[in-house]
Chain A
Amino acid sequence: MNSYRESRPIPAPPRFTSPSWFAGFVLLVFVFLFIQGFNSAEISVERLLKGARNLSTFLGQAIPPDWSDMDVIANAMLETLYMAIVGVTIGVILSIPFSLLASRNTAPHPVVRTITRFIIATMRTIPDLIWALIFVVAVGLGPLAGILAIILDTIGFAARFFSERIEEVQPGPANALTASGAGRLSVIMGAILPETLASMSATSLYSVEKAIRSAVTLGLVGAGGIGVELSTAMRLFQYDKAFAIILVVLVVIIGFEQLSSMIRKRVI
């Protein structure tokens, strides 16, 4: 090899670079919004004190929790779990075709990809509570509305992550199968999906956790589950019963998160 160039040595890059005008602009907008938002919340010492007093009244009435309706609570909790499990299972299964249609390396045509990505983005950007409100109108009060809301919410979330993982898969193995005369579908199923399984099961497990949390709140708008009981108890000022429900929800969610992290350790 030849020696280094004989011209002047090239200086090292500068230690600091000044931020772009765009970064400065974003920062300015952010500071303005923060100050404006802080002011509009009308935070004052007396309001905070009053809030603390109200909170202690609530706690005073809520403790001890009222366990007398435990059978109703347990049934409602069970219904919540059913909603989550049914919704998330259907949602994750549907996410697979959605993600395949939305990924650069598996979509049959760029137009299909764009349309699918738009559909998935819509499902994700509309919050689950709003989906539940819509489905309560469509199919009436009860768990079916909740299940439909969870399905859409799960697809919006899981299909996006699945598709990101699918696009990261190295093209080599798929090329090898294509080069040996395999059809497109066989290549996708045989070389691309197997590489994504670990990541997909992690995403699915997280979807279950997310679905249980959202199933609890969906009841607040009448879409079935324990949220219905909670919102009724709060409206009737039965804070002790409400507190019992909150405790049950807490235990179930923590329990499930433990279970899920146990499964995750086994799978991955």
Chain B
Amino acid sequence: MSSITIRNLNKYYGSLHVLRDLELSIESGEGVVLLGANGCGKSTLMKCLNGLEKPKSGTISIDQQDVTGARGKRLRNIRRGAGVVFQQFNLVDNLTVFQNVLYGAMGQRPGGLLTVWHSLAPKEFREKAMHCLDRVHMAEKASHRCRELSGGQQQRIAIARMLMQSPKIILADEPVASLDPKAGIEVMDLLWEVVREHKMTVFCTLHQLDLAKSYADRIVGMKAGRIVLDSNQDSADKESLATIYQGETRVDGTSMSDQEYSPADVSTTEVA
């Protein structure tokens, strides 16, 4: 059963053609990593997937529901089924860890913020939030403010918030790009464990080839707004992966063609 289906997707920013007839289909339970150089349209694609950006043409369906045409309540319902992990964690720094995890359940019941505010939330939400925090080994930090935590810890909290949402699909937009390599591997391990436990589908953009090879079931490469490579983990060799980063990679045509990266560089220099 297909979990994410993208057909003929076109997206423009002004006159800039960002996503160009993009086609991709991800099966339920698959762990797919998306690779691509800076400016190739990865983040735009991720934003289109949960309706934060509207594409010009084409269709996206997530869990058999059409995203591109959805508005208001229907769109919120689709978003509820897809958890997002961000590069910059995107926690509310001023609030406690516990409150941030509770936010994951926002929208599961009518009443919005009132149902997940820590003093008003029902007992089952509070218990589930602690359970999610425990899963990412951060239960003892529940009453700390998020800004007191390190980057790796914050990303764990973000994963707990995503778990609180109980999604079927996870969209992870460079989840480890702002972490050091050690914290990055810890977060990737945790994310993949959680995904496997709950049999979730995951679509994750990464910058590091080695991470992609060790976690992905399937690697998809993107270049200048198109999918140019699609291979399962075993058949993906470093040379073909490196071509994703060579030549015209950017959608705005400003790629520096005289500074092509050698395959060895890609995994180390692209940690933005």
Q: How far is the CB of A265 from chain B (nearest CB, A)?
A: 18
Q: How far is the CB of A185 from chain B (nearest CB, A)?
A: 7
Contact with A along B236-268 (1 / 0, CB 8 A): 000000000000000000000011000000000
Judge whether A176 is part of the interface by a CB distance below 8 angstroms.
Answer: yes
Question: Among B82, B90, B258, which residue has the most Cβ atoms of chain A within 10 A?
Answer: B90
Contact B92 A189 (CB under 8 A): no
> Which chain B positions have C-beta within 8 A of A178?
52, 79
Q: How far is the CB of B108 from chain A (nearest CB, A)?
A: 8
Number of residues from A at the complex interface, CB < 8 A: 22
Q: Which of A172, A176, A195 contacts B94 (CB 8 A)?
A: A195
Q: Which of B14-22, B26-34, B99-107, B223-231 touches A?
A: B99-107
> Which chain B positions have C-beta within 8 A of A195?
92-94
Judge whether B198 is part of the interface by a CB distance below 8 angstroms.
Answer: no
> Which chain B positions have C-beta within 8 A of A177?
103, 106
Judge whether A2 is part of the interface by a CB distance below 8 angstroms.
Answer: yes
Contact B112 A186 (CB under 8 A): yes
> Which chain B positions have C-beta within 8 A of A1?
259
Contact B259 A190 (CB under 8 A): no
Contact B92 A181 (CB under 8 A): no
Contact B90 A173 (CB under 8 A): yes
Q: Which of B82, B92, B165 contacts A173 (CB 8 A)?
A: B92
Contact B107 A191 (CB under 8 A): no
Complex: how many Å from CA A179 to CA B76? 8
Complex: how many Å from CA A189 to CA B218? 40
Main secondary structure of the interface of B (DSSP, over half): loop
Residue of A nearest to B261 (CB): A1
Complex: how many Å from CA A182 to CA B90? 15
Contact with B along A169-202 (1 / 0, CB 8 A): 0001101111111110110011100110110000
Complex: how many Å from CA A2 to CA B116? 54
Complex: how many Å from CA A190 to CA B90? 13
Judge whether B80 is part of the interface by a CB distance below 8 angstroms.
Answer: yes
Complex: how many Å from CA A2 to CA B92? 42
Judge whether B86 is part of the interface by a CB distance below 8 angstroms.
Answer: yes
Residue of A nearest to B80 (CB): A181
Main secondary structure of the interface of A (DSSP, over half): helix
> Which chain B positions have C-beta within 8 A of A172?
86, 88-90
Residue of A nearest to B258 (CB): A2
> Which chain A positions have C-beta within 8 A of B82?
179
Asked, given contacts A175-B52, A186-B106, whether A180 binds B84 with beta carbons under 8 Å apart, the answer is yes
Complex: how many Å from CA A123 to CA B258? 58
Complex: how many Å from CA A186 to CA B107? 9
> Which chain B positions have C-beta within 8 A of A182?
76, 103, 106-107, 112-113
> Which B68-90 residues have C-beta < 8 A from chain A?
76-80, 82-84, 86, 88-90
Contact B259 A198 (CB under 8 A): no
Contact A179 B259 (CB under 8 A): no
Asked, given contacts A175-B52, A176-B84, whether A183 binds B107 with beta carbons under 8 Å apart, the answer is yes
Contact A180 B93 (CB under 8 A): no
Complex: how many Å from CA A198 to CA B94? 9
Q: How far is the CB of B8 from chain A (nearest CB, A)?
A: 24
Asked, given contacts A2-B259, A177-B106, A198-B94, whether A186 binds B83 with beta carbons under 8 Å apart, the answer is no
| CB pairs A–B below 8 angstroms (8 shown) | A175-B90, A176-B84, A176-B91, A179-B79, A180-B106, A186-B107, A186-B113, A191-B103
Interface residues of chain B, those whose CB is within 8 Å of chain A, are 50, 52, 76-80, 82-84, 86, 88-95, 103-104, 106-107, 112-113, 116-117, 158, 161-162, 165, 258-259
Interface residues of chain A, those whose CB is within 8 Å of chain B, are 1-2, 172-173, 175-183, 185-186, 189-191, 194-195, 197-198
